[in-house]
Structure 1
């Protein structure tokens, strides 16, 4: 029998199965279309395997409050057709197994804690900077969730002195996502980030916003490690710029680990969410056995 994982993104779904050692035995990438069309392909993949449990790491916002009537739903997403979709219920109707349910970034944070660049830590934060910005955290070995899940991409940040861009977020305008996600870079400069690799000012402004958020997260959660993933962070020149700006903003107010070890890229690369989902699937299976 296998553990199953679904990393559900706004652009694509990645489904995988692994053995007990979390060695991935098969995986598939599916373009995200309508729920019916996407899930039919998900079912075709998992129907080939005998499953112990499934971990779902979904784009959001999602309802993670187990006392809520809409637990397991994708809620107010702007993604067409997916708003108020009962994701967990749909999966459970097909597969009568334990299902772990969290955000894509929470799963990535958990994967990095257990198998990636935060191994040996009890806490870490994972921030993805791409088409959107989202953050997940593990605190004392547990995913950070409460009434809901963190929405770290929507913290408010100060405008860079040379930036007049109004932001892309339809809710907040100049929140972190509105000013620093991929669409903001393209909206501000008329080109995608990978076409602006040598434009220093682009990345100085980007680092200014990301560093502000990391200071806020550090002061609030005091994680042992911050991991930055997503398409925008494939511009490796961002890391030293972010660390420098972080140091200026923190101004030695609190003790922080060496920044070269504190603010890092994912050790699992693009597999962090899938690995985290498999790990959570295994834990959910064990919890069910002993409950």
Structure 2
């Protein structure tokens, strides 16, 4: 162990916290995973692990949400109205600022992954990138001109309202807020709710493959139409379904109908950093906080 202070990162998820330290976002020296339990248990265990790693210069947190990102707000760094029991109003950033005595960078988990893929992954040669994860839920982060997009809050791409095709008009969706928004139709639990198993478990000729590809193609079409984004990275467990990303590309091309001025420059890709996008993004947030 050296005496050079470390960057510390947390990818905070609803089922697990990924912890890491390193001298740079691409130079992780130690990594640890703990289950997400109550805030008191989880944060105490994480703090103890970081305290044992040596001198830390800064912390970066890429968290499940919704979260408060307005630095002028007294709730900055908090998880807000999450449905995860016990975690609403948790002061995540404040806890580590106090327990470790370091500056903290804070953003959503998908914004962290977007940042990592833009700087060090699939979008490192582009100026704009959207990262969307399709798993237990659907979330997305957006980089334009090299900067994360923050507005009144953070983007909620999973809650756009897609067109419903005639062969999928009856399923009500599972989102407790919007029913048949994108998340309510294509997340892993939605797929199981309607067809009884994950998308990857359905036969190759099952109509579910085309239905899910259509909805994700609509998402990509909307991102291209509204932001002209160059790279769309699609991650998460649902995207591990063989052939799905090719179906999404084809559907996006069909919907675009060769109209957009940037046709040919828009690419739909898997994460180049694989499962490390989120934790690498957290360490990039720490690096920025250290500066």
1:5 matches 2:9? yes
The 2-side partners of 1:23 and 1:257 are apart by 36
What is residue 30 of structure 1 aligned with on the other side? 34
Per-residue deviation, 1:221: 1.3
Structure 1 residues 18, 193: closer, same or farther in 2, change over 3 A?
same
Per-residue deviation, 1:59: 0.4
What is residue 165 of structure 2 aligned with on the other side? 160
**Partner of residue 60 from structure 1, selected from 43, 50, 65:** 65
What is residue 182 of structure 1 aligned with on the other side? 188
**Partner of residue 193 from structure 1, selected from 189, 199, 209:** 199
**Partner of residue 70 from structure 1, selected from 64, 70, 75:** 75
For 2:130, what is the secondary structure of its paired residue?
strand
The 2-side partners of 1:101 and 1:93 are apart by 14
1:39 matches 2:43? yes
> Which consecutive unaligned segments of at least 5 residues does structure 1 have?
287-291
After superposition, the CA RMSD in angstroms is: 1.4
Count of aligned pairs: 285
> Which consecutive unaligned segments of at least 5 residues does structure 2 have?
none
The 2-side partners of 1:158 and 1:196 are apart by 23
What is residue 83 of structure 1 aligned with on the other side? 88
Per-residue deviation, 1:21: 6.2
On the 8 A contact 1:54/1:98 being kept in 2, the answer is yes
On the 8 A contact 2:173/2:190 being kept in 1, the answer is yes
The 2-side partners of 1:229 and 1:82 are apart by 25
Task: Normalising by structure 2, report the TM-score.
Answer: 0.94
Task: Normalising by structure 1, report the TM-score.
Answer: 0.94
On the 8 A contact 1:22/1:279 being kept in 2, the answer is no
What is residue 266 of structure 1 aligned with on the other side? 271
The 2-side partners of 1:36 and 1:139 are apart by 37
